Amino acid sequence: MKKIFLLIIPIGLIFAACSTKDYFGPQTEKIIKAFQLEEQVGSSVFQGDSIIVNVPDEVYLLDLTKLSASRIKVSDYASVSPNVGETQDFSKPVPYTVSAEDGSTAVYYVVVKRAGGNIQLNNTSFDLWHEASFAEKTYLDIGADDKDKTWGTGNQGAAFAIALGTDADFPTKRTETGNKTYAAELVTQNMGALAAAFGGKGIAAGNLFSGIFDIAGVTDAHPVFGIPFTQTPSSFEFKYQYIPAEGLMDGTLKPVTGKDGMDVYVVLEKREGETAKRLGVGWMRNEDLQSDWKIAEVSIKYARGQAPEGLQDYEKRVLKYGIGGDPANNDPTSLPEVEWGDIEQEKPTHIIVVFTSSYQGDYFVGAPGSKLTVDDFKLKY
């Protein structure tokens, strides 16, 4: 019994969140952890006590005086003022005051900037990386620092498995392409017998996506897809190399028939609370070897009340790690078809961009060693 108890302890510590409030009195932390403004494009940038937000030209020129925050996440037991939905004049920096449980406060200033035309996401050259750590493991993760939330990876989840003794490497890494320029290298990993036994998670695909990785509980750790975005690009392009490996396996490390393949896709959504309509989708799924750099361009097809013509079945379904998805689902064909919006009457609020070295990676299926290297992602208008 002692051995079982000791194995569970590291996992329990992640969940436990036994409130320090119960032992040390009122909480003192007063941090804005996430901020989103109506009409925002891209992720917010935190710089000290400033939060930088970009909006499109038409909003910057006409509507700055009547915007409100659509999402604010603060420290546990803290409150914020003004709150979500309270209209402010963003033609000048707007102070947001966070009050900790003990009564102490901190002030953040939200600064709105003009995004300009042909809006791109931050760090689409994949040149910016920072040192991160989790479970006593240190690794490089994408972004200028840990507050840069444009792109996410599954490296944090892999760090936990690696800390328990697997020989696997981190699935998403930086690779040099020139003089201080880099690309993202995504390699499907065999995470070992312990991960396979613990929830059937023995395969970890290399991945890069717009959004964050939620590690709140190890057994439920998963990506959360999507960042704010309001534009309607006609296509996207990127540079890539792809080397598919042999030996497809599932999450219990049992052989699976078929071939591995890469997935790259863009989804544009209109989100309202916990619901979403899909307005646009562009998808490239490919099993072919591409050993030299190649530029791919993928058209984005827009909906007008129903699915655009010519889509594959997988392009029509709810995403496992998106709004309405089920992170515990193990059958992609069981996910329902999305609700389709009408691009002629609605505009996007969020963009999902996903790169992965194994297209079934979100179901813990892939061939260890499959490698997708990507660089220079660009939205085209």
32-114 CATH fold: Immunoglobulin-like (2.60.40)
User: Can you tell me the mean pLDDT for 210-219?
Assistant: 78
Q: Which CATH number does 129-380 carry?
A: 2.60.120.890
Average pLDDT over residues 195-206: 90
Between CA 253 and CA 192 the distance in angstroms is 8
Looking at residue 4, its pLDDT comes to 38
Segment 21-76, tens digit of pLDDT: 445 678 999 999 989 898 898 889 898 899 999 998 888 888 899 999 998 999 99
pLDDT in tens, 307-352: 999 999 999 999 999 999 999 898 999 999 999 999 999 999 999 9
Q: Are 29 and 76 in contact (CB under 8 A)?
A: yes
pLDDT tens across 124-182, in order?
999 999 999 988 899 999 999 888 889 999 999 899 889 888 889 999 999 999 888 99
Region 203-210 average pLDDT:
97
Percent of the chain with pLDDT strictly greater than 90: 71
Q: What is the pLDDT of residue 167?
A: 87
d(CA 70, CA 58): 19
Kindly tell me if the per-residue pLDDT of 79 is higher than 80. yes
CA torsion through residues 320, 326, 328, 330, sign? negative
| pLDDT at 219 > cutoff 70 | no
Where are the chain's structural domains?
32-114, 129-380
Model confidence, pTM: 0.80
What are the tens digits of pLDDT across the range 163-175?
A: 888 889 999 999 9
Inter-axis angle of helices 2-16 and 155-163, to 10 degrees?
Answer: 160
Q: Are 227 and 42 in contact (CB under 8 A)?
A: yes
Residue 218: the pLDDT is 57
Mean pLDDT of the chain: 90
- Give the per-residue pLDDT at 8: 34
CA dist list (Å): 111 to 23, 31, 48, 72, 366: 38, 17, 12, 15, 43
Give the CB-side neighbour count of residue 156, counting CA atoms within 13 A: 20
DSSP 77: T
